[in-house]
Amino acid sequence: MPSRKLTIDLPLLNSDIITNPEVLMGAQSQEEKIDALVEKDPEFKSLVQEHRMLDGKLKEFDRKIYLSPNEEMERKRLQKLKLVKKDKIAQRLSGQ
């Protein structure tokens, strides 16, 4: 019997790392995979924590009405770092 795929929308540890993952029916959910990796892999746990920390810092910038040129540059730098972490987490989840 061929596997059917289900596209679901799950938060990644209250974050937006994986916005629309494909999960095979009957397989571990994305959240379960993340929890399992966080528990057994300190490097992965660190990646997730860093991503969440960057997300928090970006939210602080988003609450401001006006950003100085230096704050805008810092915001862009944090966005790029967050994206790098997101990509690394996605790679690890896909088994690469």
Asked if residue 43 belongs to a domain, the reply is: yes
Environment class of residue 92 by beta-carbon count within 10 Å: exposed (0-12), middle (13-18) or buried (19+)? middle
Is 76 within the bounds of a domain?
yes
Count of domains in the chain? 1
Each residue of 8-27: pLDDT tens digit? Answer: 444 444 455 444 444 444 45
- What residue numbers bound the domain in which 48 lies? 30-94
8 A C-beta contact, residue 87 and residue 42 = no
pTM: 0.66
Mean pLDDT, rounded, of the chain: 79
Q: What is the mean pLDDT of residues 44-54?
A: 94
